Amino acid sequence: MPSPAIDFVHTGPGTLAGRYLRMFWQPVYRSQDLLRGRAVPIRIMSEDFTLYRGESGTPYLPAFRCAHRGTQLSTGWVEGDRIRCRYHGWQYDESGHCVDQPGENDSSPTKVAIKSYPVRDYLGLIFAYLGEGKPPPFRRFPDFERPGVLINGPAESWPCNYFNRLDNACDSAHVAYTHRAAALRAGARASLASPQIFSEETEYGIRTATRLPGELRYLHFYMPDANHIRATLGRGNVEKASAPVWSDRLFFRVPVDDSNCVSFGAILVHVTGEAARAYAERARSEDGERSLFLNQLGEAILKGQKRIEDLESDATIWDLFQVEDYVVQVGQSPVAERSQEHLGRMDNGVILLRRIWERELRNLAEGRPLKPWATPEGVADETAMTQQIPSSAAL
């Protein structure tokens, strides 16, 4: 009898996939967007939290609501490294303990506390541990600590389940079609030749090799929800660069709730010295409302009001890439109906991803040990498979 399907789509508290994702540190906000002394509400995996940065610069992540009568704590005031509720002024310290209840006339320390979660600033992102018990050791990404310019594009909020984006991260077959307009605009000859694709499980997740005429490309997926790609920026992007400049791109696709997700990126551009300063300045000035605008463009295309082929010629290649990905992944519907799919040989990365997720979730459900995923290091330079790539074809 086939075992019942494992649900990796729903990630709210108590769900199996939610429990699994909460076992890992997850990025929850772009660091540069959280100013000292400011608090914001955030939603991750169908749970609400208060995120604030103390005046010392340290970020904190207490519960969403004040323990007194439950108003939204993010509307209050940050005082030093504490936060005070706007309703009746209760104040919480760095660990969520209520340390001041104005008017209560009680000099003994209060026993009231709200939950507070461990957080850490790293690679321009704020990571949090939202699971039970002691957090696991913080996972670093040494490939992104190398010399170069580290930039974080705006967080991309998309109205689809995070697994639409995870599937895509292991799906190199989509590139020739989905990104055809971007490739043509970049001056590439559009090739619709079917690539050969081979995916294998590694100590960190999945490595996928894609063979195209004259080219072998690698994709790396880090369990449970990140992917790493290496790409050139193209000559024009870095002043005076005599050769194409490489960038390493790390993306985390994190559930907001079951129909929305947010993607956080850390991009290391391999330039140093004067060129690095100039590049960093330009990248910063290009930030802003762009991501929202691109989502609106994606929505207009999905409604049939625009076509990708008609987008203005000033759209950058990366803009196009983002809109193209938005259209196909949000176009699968917020929660893709996987039971209706017809998977083929070209989907072998997607099939492997789901098989690994199902195995881990089943083990979690049945109390068996989980695979301890290794810290990816040197992955950017890894361009070989441990197994022999079958010569015949895509698997």
Residues in the interface with ligand FES (CB under 6 A) total 9
Q: Is 325 in the site for Fe ion (CB under 5 A)?
A: yes
Strand, coil or helix: 163 = helix
Q: Binding of ligand FES at residue 75 (CB under 6 A)?
A: no
Query: Phi and psi (nearest 5°) for 182?
Result: -65, -40
Q: Does 71 bind ligand FES (CB under 6 A)?
A: yes
Residue 71 interacts with, from ligand FES, Fe ion, none (CB under 5-8 Å by kind):
ligand FES
Beta carbon nearer to ligand FES, 66 or 320: 66
Token readout for 224 is 């449970």
Residue found under tokens 């625009």 = 306
Note whether 220 and 206 are within 8 A (CB).
yes
Taking the complex as a whole, the smallest distance from the CB of residue 59 to ligand FES amounts, in Å, to 21
If one asks whether residue 64 binds ligand FES (CB under 6 A), the answer comes out as: no
Give the shortest CB-179-to-Fe ion separation in angstroms: 6
Q: Examine residue 87 and tell whether it contacts ligand FES (CB under 6 A).
A: yes
Q: How far is the CB of 160 from Fe ion (least distance, A)?
A: 14
Q: Give Cβ neighbours of residue 326 (< 8 Å, ≥ 6 apart).
A: 158, 294, 295, 298
Q: Which is nearer to ligand FES, 87 or 318 (CB)?
A: 87
| 3-state DSSP assignment of residue 336 | coil
Give the residue, chosen from 42, 85, 206, 223, that forms a contact with ligand FES under the rule CB under 6 A. 85
| 244: Cα separation from own chain's centroid | 26
- Residue facing Fe ion at closest CB distance: 325
Shortest distance in whole angstroms from residue 101 CB to ligand FES? 8
Written as six digits, the tokens of 232 are 């050139």
Choose among ligand FES, Fe ion, none what residue 217 binds, the Cβ cut-off being 5 to 8 Å by kind: none
The distance of closest approach from Cβ of residue 376 to Fe ion in the complex, given in angstroms and rounded to an integer, is 21
Place of tokens 């176009």: 331
Asked whether position 88 contacts ligand FES by CB under 6 A, the answer is yes
Phi, psi at 340, each rounded to 5° = -95, 0
* Bond into 334 cis (ω within 30): no
**What does the radius of gyration of the chain's CA atoms come to, in whole angstroms?**
23
| Spatial CB neighbours of 144, under 8 Å, sequence gap ≥ 6 | 123, 150, 248, 250, 266, 268
Select 66 or 394, whichever has its Cβ closest to ligand FES.
Answer: 66
Q: Identify which range of 50-58, 87-95, 243-251, 302-310 contacts ligand FES by CB under 6 A.
A: 87-95
Phi-psi region of 57 (alpha: psi -120 to 50; beta: other; left: phi over 0): left
167 touches Fe ion (CB under 5 A): no
**What does the binding site for Fe ion look like in residue numbers (CB under 5 A)?**
325
Summarize as ranges the residues that interact with ligand FES (CB under 6 A): 66, 68-69, 71, 85, 87-90
